[in-house]
Amino acid sequence: MCYILVRTPYGKGRYHPNYQALSDHGYAVMVEDVRGRYESEGLVPAAEKEPADGDDTLNWIARQPWSTARSA
């Protein structure tokens, strides 16, 4: 299975029809609010924190039992 990670400052609660289309084609789609926005904890970050936050998310995904921990 292929995974797609979307990190957004615009709110993951909004339905996006492309997410369903990707899912229908066999992709697992994960959508995450960036730090300090919508349902995410913390303060709105400075841009320099984004790479580390994204890396933390990818490492979390890799540790999940359903993940192959491989990158394409």
The tens digit of pLDDT for each residue in 45-69 reads 667 788 898 999 999 988 988 887 6
| Amino acid, res. 56 | D
Does residue 68 fall inside a structural domain? no
Does residue 70 fall inside a structural domain? no
Does residue 18 fall inside a structural domain? yes
pLDDT at 27 over 60: yes
Q: Which domain holds residue 10?
A: 2-63
Say how many domains are in the chain. 1
Q: Would the pTM of this model clear 0.85, i.e. be above it?
A: no
Residue 48 DSSP one-character state = G
Does residue 6 fall inside a structural domain? yes
Do residues 6 and 29 lie in contact, with contact meaning Cβ atoms separated by under 8 Å?
A: yes
Beta partners for residue 61, in sequence order? none
Does residue 71 fall inside a structural domain? no
Does residue 36 fall inside a structural domain? yes
Does residue 69 fall inside a structural domain? no
CB contact set of 9 (below 8 Å; sequence gap of 6+): 33, 34, 37
Does residue 72 fall inside a structural domain? no
pLDDT at 70 over 70: no
